[in-house]
């Protein structure tokens, strides 16, 4: 009986051990599983190393830079009624820039066209027109037209869409530079008469000179004005050499045109005093 009593605990311990082993096996990996996982980790290839970015190399060529446009100046006060075409052409004067003004011809021509027309008193000495004093009415828009008369009534020049005509005393001739003697003479006088009134002719006259020098706030008959002075250099021996001086009002319309110099050593001048801008509609 004692020997049988000591055998029950041993058998119980063996039975308990047999029951615990399967539980432990179910709770953790087996030796084969651990070995398989280790092999999988060692056989997986490592990710590729990142490729370094190549640094950008700056070239010696500079990057293009934008050229700033000249500042556009608006008008006010006495210039509030200035036409847009005049503002565009005369920005140099509106900004009150100094130095040579290359666009003076375009500026003055635009102002004359916007002014529609005016009246002139023209005085000449040894110019293409016979020396003397003349009066003129002219229109600049929509098309150029003019009527010039000498103080003694012996010479008249008419320019319109219908043509150009010279009247001297009882004689009348149409201007034609390729015509006979009378027609050619009429063309020379008509060209001279248009010089201070036709915007296109005055533009060409100014552009034929060097850049205009500008003076602001000069006095003209008690009012402030702008003065442009350009020097005309002869292109060939004997050509005209001299200067053209334009005195302009607030809207850059000419009030005074002085054209003086010499041709083949002979002094010549044309002086035109201009008034009543806006009266071009009176000329039919």
What pLDDT sits at residue 20?
38
Band the pLDDT of 249: cuts 50, 70, 90.
Answer: very high
Between these two residues, 76 and 252, which has the higher pLDDT value?
Answer: 252
Give per-residue pLDDT as tens, 97-124.
Answer: 999 999 999 999 999 999 999 999 999 9
Which of the residue ranges 42-56, 73-87, 214-228, 250-264 would you say has the lowest mean pLDDT? 42-56
The tally of domains found in the chain comes to 1
154, pLDDT greater than 60: yes
HSE at residue 199, side-chain half, CA atoms within 13 A, is: 24
What pLDDT sits at residue 45?
52
Band the pLDDT of 7: cuts 50, 70, 90.
Answer: very low
Give per-residue pLDDT as tens, 10-63.
Answer: 443 333 333 333 433 343 444 454 444 545 444 445 555 555 555 555 555 555
Band the pLDDT of 9: cuts 50, 70, 90.
Answer: very low
Mean of the per-residue pLDDT values of the chain = 81
On whether residue 74 sits in a domain, the answer given is no
Domain holding 120, by residue range, is 83-282
On whether residue 124 sits in a domain, the answer given is yes
What pLDDT sits at residue 4?
44
CATH of the domain at 203: 2.50.20
On whether residue 24 sits in a domain, the answer given is no
């Amino acid at each position: 009986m004692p020997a049988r009593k000591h055998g029950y605990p041993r058998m119980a311990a063996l039975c308990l051990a047999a029951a615990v082993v399967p539980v432990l096996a179910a709770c953790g990996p087996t030796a084969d599983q651990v070995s398989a996982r280790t092999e999988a980790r060692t056989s997986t290839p490592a990710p590729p190393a990142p490729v370094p970015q190549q640094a950008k190399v700056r070239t010696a060529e500079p990057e293009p830079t934008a050229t700033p446009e000249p500042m556009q100046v608006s008008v006010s006060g006495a210039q509030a009624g200035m036409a847009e075409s005049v503002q565009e052409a005369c920005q140099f004067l509106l900004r009150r820039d100094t130095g040579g003004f290359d666009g003076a011809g375009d500026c003055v021509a635009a102002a004359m066209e916007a002014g529609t027309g005016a009246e002139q008193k023209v005085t000449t000495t040894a110019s293409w027109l016979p020396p003397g004093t003349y009066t003129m009415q002219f229109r600049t828009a929509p098309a150029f037209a003019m009527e010039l008369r000498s103080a003694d009534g012996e010479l008249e020049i008419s320019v319109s869409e219908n043509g150009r005509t010279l009247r001297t005393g009882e004689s009348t001739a149409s201007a034609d530079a390729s015509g006979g003697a009378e027609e050619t003479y009429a063309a020379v006088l008509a060209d001279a008469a248009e010089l201070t009134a036709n915007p296109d002719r005055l533009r060409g006259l100014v552009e034929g000179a060097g850049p205009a020098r500008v003076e602001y706030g000069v006095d003209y008959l008690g009012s402030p004005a702008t003065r442009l002075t350009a020097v005309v250099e002869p292109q060939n021996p004997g050509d005209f050499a001299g200067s053209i001086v334009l005195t302009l009002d607030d809207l850059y319309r000419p009030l005074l045109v002085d054209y003086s110099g010499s041709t083949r050593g002979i002094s010549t001048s044309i002086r035109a005093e201009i008034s009543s801008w806006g009266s071009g509609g009176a000329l039919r």
